[in-house]
Structure 1
Amino acid sequence: MGRERVQFAESFDVVVVGSGAAGAMAALRSADHGMKVLIVEKAHKFGGTSATSGGVMWIPNHRLDSDVGDSREAALQYLDATIGVPVNRERLEAFVDEAPAMLRYLKSTGVPVAAAAWPDYFPDRAGARADRSVIVPTFDGRRLGDERYALMREQYNRFKLFGRYAMDLTETFALMMQSKGWRAVAGKMIGRYWLDRGTRKVSHRDKRFTQGAALMGATYEQAFARGVELRLETKLDRLLVDDGGRVCGVEVSNFGRTYAIEARHGVVLAAGGFEWNQELRDRFYPVPGLTRHSSTPEDGNRGEALIAAERIGASTEHTAQGWWIPTMTLPMKGASNFHEIHQAAFDVGRPWSVVVNRKGVRFVDEACGYDRFGQAMVRDHLETGANMPCWLIFDAKFRRKFSAGGLMPTVHTLERKVPADWWDHYVFRADTIEALAAKIHLPAEAVMRTVANMNAYAKTGVDPEFGRGMNPYDRMFGDPASAPNPNLGPIDTAPFYAVPINNGDLGTKGGLRCDARARVLDGAGAPIPGLYAAGNNAGTPFGDTYPGAGATIGPGMTFGYVAANDIALRSANRRALEAGDAAQGRAPVAVN
Structure 2
Amino acid sequence: MATGVRGLRLTTRDGEVTGVRVNIADGERVVPAGAIVLATGGFDYAPDLVRDFLRGPLSRGVGAPSNTGDGLRMAMRVGAQLGNMREAWWSPVLTTPGIRSDGGRRGLLISRERALPGSIMVNRYGRRFANEAANYNAFGGAFHHLDESKLDYPNIPAYLIFDHSTVERYGVFGNPPGGEVPDWVIRAATLDELADRLDLPADALRATVDRFNTHARAGMDPDFTRGVSAYDRFPGGRMGDPDSPHATLGPVTTAPFYGARVESSALGTKGGPRTDRDGRVLDVDGDPIRGLYAAGNVMASPSGMVYGGAGGTLVIAGVWGMYAGRAAVQDQGRRAG
TM-score when normalising by structure 1: 0.52
Sort the Cα spacing of 1:510 and 1:459 in 2 relative to 1 into closer, same or farther, 3 A.
same
Matches within 5 A, 1:190-229: none
| Partner in structure 2 of residue 475 of structure 1 | 233
Q: In the alignment, is the contact (CA less than 8 A) between 1:245 and 1:529 conserved in 2?
A: yes
Q: In the alignment, is the contact (CA less than 8 A) between 2:132 and 2:226 conserved in 1?
A: yes
Counterpart-to-counterpart distance in 2, 1:399 and 1:363: 23
1:376 positional shift = 1.4
Structure richer in strand, relative to its length: 2
SS at match of 1:505: strand
Sort the Cα spacing of 1:543 and 1:454 in 2 relative to 1 into closer, same or farther, 3 A.
same
Counterpart-to-counterpart distance in 2, 1:494 and 1:478: 20
Could you list the structure 1 runs, at least 4 aligned residues long, displaced by more than 4 angstroms after superposition. 380-384, 401-406, 408-412
1:402 positional shift = 4.7
| Equivalent in 322, 327, 334 of residue 561 of structure 1 | 322
| Equivalent in 161, 168, 174 of residue 400 of structure 1 | 168
Pair 1:431 & 2:192 matched: no
1:562 positional shift = 1.8
| Equivalent in 318, 322, 333 of residue 84 of structure 2 | 318
| Partner in structure 1 of residue 50 of structure 2 | 281
Matches within 5 A, 1:113-128: none
| Partner in structure 2 of residue 548 of structure 1 | 309
| Partner in structure 2 of residue 296 of structure 1 | 63
Counterpart-to-counterpart distance in 1, 2:221 and 2:132: 11
| Partner in structure 1 of residue 122 of structure 2 | 356
SS at match of 2:156: coil
Alignment deviations for residues 186-221 of structure 1 (CA, whole Å, 9 cap, x no partner): xxxxxxxxxxxxxxxxxxxxxxxxxxxxxxxxxxxx
1:393 positional shift = 0.7
Matches within 5 A, 1:520-539: 520-539=281-300
Counterpart-to-counterpart distance in 2, 1:470 and 1:245: 54
SS at match of 1:497: strand
Counterpart-to-counterpart distance in 2, 1:534 and 1:564: 9
SS at match of 2:145: helix
Identify unmatched segments of 5+ residues in structure 2: none
Sort the Cα spacing of 1:339 and 1:260 in 2 relative to 1 into closer, same or farther, 3 A.
closer
CA RMSD for the aligned pairs?
2.3
Matches within 5 A, 1:439-588: 439-479=197-237, 480-481=239-240, 485-576=246-337
Matches within 5 A, 1:345-424: 345-379=111-145, 385-402=153-170, 408=175, 411-413=178-180, 418-419=182-183, 422=184
Identify unmatched segments of 5+ residues in structure 1: 1-229, 577-592
| Partner in structure 2 of residue 258 of structure 1 | 28
Alignment deviations for residues 259-316 of structure 1 (CA, whole Å, 9 cap, x no partner): 222112x1100111011111111111232323xx22213x221111111121222232
Q: In the alignment, is the contact (CA less than 8 A) between 2:158 and 2:263 conserved in 1?
A: yes
Counterpart-to-counterpart distance in 1, 2:155 and 2:4: 39
Q: In the alignment, is the contact (CA less than 8 A) between 1:381 and 1:388 conserved in 2?
A: no
1:405 positional shift = 5.2
| Partner in structure 2 of residue 245 of structure 1 | 15
Sort the Cα spacing of 1:374 and 1:256 in 2 relative to 1 into closer, same or farther, 3 A.
farther
SS at match of 1:552: helix
Q: In the alignment, is the contact (CA less than 8 A) between 2:227 and 2:245 conserved in 1?
A: no
Counterpart-to-counterpart distance in 2, 1:392 and 1:523: 44
Sort the Cα spacing of 1:317 and 1:484 in 2 relative to 1 into closer, same or farther, 3 A.
closer
SS at match of 2:130: coil
Structure richer in helix, relative to its length: 1
Alignment deviations for residues 408-449 of structure 1 (CA, whole Å, 9 cap, x no partner): 5684436xxx55xx3xxxx32222112222222222222112
- Indicate the percent of aligned positions where both proteins have the same amino acid: 36
TM-score when normalising by structure 2: 0.89
Matches within 5 A, 1:96-111: none
Counterpart-to-counterpart distance in 2, 1:285 and 1:236: 23
Question: Larger C-alpha radius of gyration, 1 or 2?
Answer: 1
Counterpart-to-counterpart distance in 2, 1:442 and 1:321: 30
Q: In the alignment, is the contact (CA less than 8 A) between 2:236 and 2:247 conserved in 1?
A: yes
SS at match of 1:438: helix
Q: In the alignment, is the contact (CA less than 8 A) between 1:460 and 1:484 conserved in 2?
A: no
